[in-house]
Amino acid sequence: MCRLLLRVTSVLAALIVGACGPRLFPAAPAGLAGLPLKPGQYVQESYFAPDFKPDEASYTFGAFPVTEANGAPAEKFLKIFQDEQVSAWQAQGLKLGPGENACLLSGTIWHLSVKGARLRWLTGRLFASLSISGEITRGGQVLFAFRDQVEVSSPLSPGPAAPREQELLLRQLARETVHHLLNELLLHGATVSGARSAITRMMILGLCTTLVKSSIMPM
């Protein structure tokens, strides 16, 4: 009896560690178009063309297909991701729409994952993560490229999952990913004033995240 109890306890402990521990997921392929990627300030790696001025450009959004999804609805996430892109670009006053000098942002989401659903009743949270790479191009020229990995989790709330918990978690993941990307674009090589702008954006994101978490918490 003691041996059986020990085995059950060991299995539960392993499952809990797997559900709650840090998520290790594959990185996006290296060497995007042979570009010299360097460690980024807000994304893992990035490349900037010497004359690229992101705040003066106009943007259109291309596809970000999901190559591998684990426990996450890829099509639903892509719709959320696109909505967050548009909202974030507009909030920063960046130009959107086609034109002679418009840039195209496109890329690939290599891995998209939502984990922890089986033990949600015990651990009290879900985990979402992605691995992404992308480029901004204009007239066939690569102006910017990046690779990044992002992970978020729902707030601790043991018991049954709250309504729309996964959907809100995916929105939080999309928002965090876009936040990384925009900060890298707009604050690349930032001075002290730029760093203050980054802090302001972090505070805004923190407020948005708090609102998302409060909406997840069961009443």
The answer on pLDDT for 38 being more than 60 is: yes
Q: Across 33-140, where does the E strand assignment appear?
A: 38-39, 45-48, 58-61, 69-70, 95-96, 102-115, 127-138
The answer on pLDDT for 74 being more than 90 is: yes
Q: Domain for residue 26, yes or no?
A: no
Per-residue pLDDT of 132-178, as tens digits, reads: 999 999 988 999 999 999 999 987 677 777 778 889 999 999 999 99
Predicted confidence at residue 195, as pLDDT, reads 43
Sequence-distant (6+) residues with CB within 8 A of 54 are: 94, 136, 144, 185, 186, 188
Give the whole-angstrom CA distance, residue 51 versus residue 144. 11
Q: Domain for residue 143, yes or no?
A: yes
Dihedral, 182, 183, 186, 192 alpha carbons, nearest 10: 170
Give the whole-angstrom CA distance, residue 142 versus residue 101. 13
Q: What is the mean pLDDT of the chain?
A: 78
32 band by pLDDT with thresholds 50, 70 and 90 = low
Query: Which residue in this structure is represented by tokens 């922890």?
Result: 116
Note the Cα 156 to chain centre separation in Å: 20
9 band by pLDDT with thresholds 50, 70 and 90 = very low
Q: Domain for residue 6, yes or no?
A: no
The answer on pLDDT for 34 being more than 80 is: no
Predicted confidence at residue 24, as pLDDT, reads 44
CATH number at residue 174: 3.30.160.150
The reported pTM is 0.74
DSSP state of 217: S
Query: Which residue in this structure is represented by tokens 């007239």?
Result: 139
Flag the least confident range among 4-8, 37-41, 48-52, 148-152. 4-8
- Check residues 13 and 93 and name the one with the higher pLDDT: 93
The answer on pLDDT for 3 being more than 70 is: no
Q: Indicate the number of domains in the chain.
A: 1
Sequence-distant (6+) residues with CB within 8 A of 101 are: 57, 58, 138
- Radius of gyration of the chain from its Cα atoms, rounded to whole angstroms: 20
Predicted confidence at residue 126, as pLDDT, reads 86
User: 3-class DSSP state for residue 26?
Assistant: coil
Give the whole-angstrom CA distance, residue 54 versus residue 64. 20
Q: Domain for residue 17, yes or no?
A: no
Give the whole-angstrom CA distance, residue 167 versus residue 216. 10
29 band by pLDDT with thresholds 50, 70 and 90 = low
Predicted confidence at residue 210, as pLDDT, reads 44
User: 3-class DSSP state for residue 127?
Assistant: strand
Q: Domain for residue 13, yes or no?
A: no
What range does the domain containing 198 cover? 37-216
In the chain, what's the furthest Cα-to-Cα distance? Answer: 75
Per-residue pLDDT of 88-139, as tens digits, reads: 999 999 999 987 789 999 999 999 999 987 777 677 788 999 999 999 999 8
60 band by pLDDT with thresholds 50, 70 and 90 = very high
- Check residues 60 and 198 and name the one with the higher pLDDT: 60
Q: Domain for residue 169, yes or no?
A: yes
Give the whole-angstrom CA distance, residue 202 versus residue 42. 11
